[in-house]
Amino acid sequence: MQPTSLSTNLQQVFISLGDRSYPISIGSGLLANPATFDGLASAHTALIVSNLTVAPLYAALLQESLKKHYQRVLLVNLPDGEVHKDWLNLQLIFDALLENGCDRKTVLFALGGGVVGDMTGFAAACYMRGVPFVQVPTTLLAQVDSSVGGKTAINHPLGKNMVGAFYQPQRVICDLDVLTTLPPRELSAGLAEIIKYGPIADMGFLDWIEANIDALLRRDRAALAHAVRRSCEIKAAVVGEDEREAGLRAILNFGHTFGHAIESGLGYGEWLHGEGVGCGMVMAARLSQALGLVDANFVVRLRTLIGRAGLPVVGPILSTSDNAGRYLDLMRVDKKAEAGEIKFVVIDLPGRASVRSAPDAMVRSVIDACCGQAGSL
Ligand code: NAD
Ligand code: GLY
């Protein structure tokens, strides 16, 4: 029998942004329950944006639930993968909207991981100068990070997430059931973004992750529910204070400056985003140590946890002639860079982060110590 009210396992986190505030719902059975979508602005048409991997698994379930709320529920599938997060494929969403005569009340539903979520959000920000959208994240990474906070973007060949907009969803629906089909490598990628919240904001959460990493890798439902909720709480608090990254929000990019260099240096899709972030956190922790902010024990502790989560802890060699130089060149196109000066998120003390620059020579020595054979020592 179809459930008609929201189940008791539901947890909600609110992100407080004035008239752009919204709830993040976390629980089981949410996609299959039409009540999950009660209260959204009324519209004639809903367009589900998904991809060729996720849609066969979950689009029919979502379509059935949405049919209770919309007269037309359309579906457009994007090709799967970071390499397709570009202009060409963004156009597929606009094609579907225009070919079906979608008006400015049409609601977009992003059913997929961070790639689908970022692209759908950007399309929603642009179509008719802005239509509502709902995030239905299906990867762990998307549930704990990318679906929350309104950053939307596509990649440019010269830099990751370089073209985009801040545009908040109406709601985020984290159905834990969908995580059962997630490949193990993708689960680990999501754990990287969960681990991130410890050193930047909550060392008690880091203690909890260390104690529960095996349960998380086993996909224990209670452990996942706690990890998703606490991650969303921390992200909601940071974004609530600094929606457009004037300052504080940058701490959410811990590990990302090195990680983005790895992702674009190897070619998008070679390493997963979460893998780049995992290894990038090891490098950013080493840089924090070089700056005299944290001790070696902290770096070892973080590196050990990242390794236990199934993530790489040794940076790849991006150039055999001047590896550190190649990293530096790639990091200069990071969005935090100012007039060519690279900005790094470093740990000031465990549980607190800030954005700083560092001398090139110091960054070079960190890269040399963390990459290739030297990194595995
Ligand atoms: P992804 O979207 O590529 O998804 C990973 C893979 O898992 C894909 O092959 C996808 O089809 C598949 N998949 C998704 N859900 C599945 C499920 N339930 N079962 C089986 N397979 C499933 O990758 P991701 O890690 O979710 O997201 C990474 C992207 O998110 C990057 O582009 C990154 O830049 C972006 N991101 C954005 C923000 C933000 O604040 N907007 C934050 C972090 C990351
Ligand atoms: N993932 C970083 C941010 O949302 O700001």
Pick left, alpha or beta for residue 351 (phi over 0 → left; psi -120 to 50 → alpha; otherwise beta): left
Packed helices 360-370 and 273-290: angle between N→C axes, nearest 10 degrees = 120
Distance 146 CA to ligand 2 centre (A): 7
DSSP state of 44: S
Segment among 6-15, 52-61, 137-146 with least mean pLDDT: 6-15
Same fold: 11-181 with 184-370: no
For residue range 249-293, list pLDDT tens digits in order: 999 999 999 999 999 899 878 999 999 999 999 999 999 999 999
Helix (H, G, I), strand (E, B) or coil at 77: strand
User: Residue 38: what pLDDT?
Assistant: 97
Q: How far apart are the first and last CA of the chain?
A: 57
Q: Mean pLDDT, the chain, as a whole number? A: 95
Query: Is a pLDDT exceeding 90 seen at residue 211?
Result: yes
Of 260, 303, 308, 336, catalytic: 260
Distance 240 CA to ligand 2 centre (A): 12
Q: Tell the CATH superfamily of the 184-370 domain.
A: Dehydroquinate synthase-like - alpha domain (1.20.1090.10)
DSSP state of 293: S
Residue 260 CA: which ligand is closest? 1
Instruction: For domain 11-181, say whether CATH 3.40.50.300 is its number.
Output: no
Query: Is a pLDDT exceeding 70 seen at residue 152?
Result: yes
User: Residue 2: what pLDDT?
Assistant: 45
Ligand 1 pocket mutation, candidates 24, 53, 232, criterion most atoms within 8 A of CB: 53
User: Residue 6: what pLDDT?
Assistant: 60
Q: Give the pLDDT mean for 96-100.
A: 98
Confidence of residue 377 (pLDDT cuts 50, 70, 90): low
Domain boundaries, the chain: 11-181, 184-370
Q: Is 156 a catalytic residue?
A: no
Q: Is 72 a catalytic residue?
A: no
* Separation CA 264–CA 82 (nearest Å): 11
More confident of the two residues 98 and 267: 98
Ligand 2, atom 2: closest residue by C-alpha: 252
Dihedral sign for Cα 149, 126, 267, 136, please. positive
Q: Is 256 a catalytic residue?
A: yes
C-beta neighbour count of 181 within 10 angstroms: 12
The answer, yes or no, to whether any atom of ligand 1 lies below 6 A from the CB of 261, is: no
For residue range 325-338, list pLDDT tens digits in order: 999 999 998 777 88
